[in-house]
Amino acid sequence: MRIGELAKATGVSTRALRYYEEQGLLLSERRTNGYREYDEQAIRQVAFIQDLYRAGLPSEVIREVIPCAGSKQPTGDCAALVARARQVRDQLAQQEQQLAERRRMLERYLSGAAVPTGLATSPSQDC
């Protein structure tokens, strides 16, 4: 299938597909007329790439994960890649905790349960 057909089948722009190819995430064959030709597996590949991006993995990690996720015999150090994916997951969990703490702090200030450090203890005034 050509790039426009792949874009339509996956809901991903042709620009993004070209980027995936530049990053070594997606392979295509070139026809004699220069058009890209993708096999049917490309649809699943693009969906997988999209999932990994949404999960917060950068292109360089995705490029290394792809050989470990295919139906063929995995190549590369897949255990190290799983460890890297876990590291990204843990970083996301830490960011979630930080955001939750920030939200709780704002809720305390907005409810009047907390007063900014260093301000006079006089009754609060509306802004």
pLDDT digit string, tens, across residues 30-55: 999 989 999 989 999 999 999 989 98
Would 125 be classed as within a structural domain?
Answer: no
Distances in whole angstroms, Cα of residue 121 to Cα of each of 19, 23, 57, 78 = 57, 57, 47, 58
Would 120 be classed as within a structural domain?
Answer: no
Would 127 be classed as within a structural domain?
Answer: no
Which residue, among 42, 54, 48, has the nearest Cα to 4 in the 3D structure?
42
Paired strand residues for 36: 30
Domain extent for 94: 3-111
- At residue 74, the pLDDT reads 61
DSSP type of residue 29: E
3 phi, psi to nearest 5 deg: -60, -40
Would 66 be classed as within a structural domain?
Answer: yes
pLDDT higher than 60, residue 124: no
pTM: 0.66
Q: How many residues does the chain have?
A: 127
Would 117 be classed as within a structural domain?
Answer: no
Specify the number of domains making up the chain: 1
User: Is the model more confident about 70 or about 28?
Assistant: 28
- At residue 123, the pLDDT reads 55
Q: Is the dihedral of CA 65, 71, 72, 73 positive or negative?
A: positive
Query: pLDDT tier at 68 (50, 70, 90 boundaries)?
Result: confident
Would 55 be classed as within a structural domain?
Answer: yes
pLDDT higher than 60, residue 59: yes
Domain containing residue 9: CATH number: 1.10.1660.10
pLDDT digit string, tens, across residues 76-117: 677 877 888 888 889 889 999 999 999 999 999 888 888 777
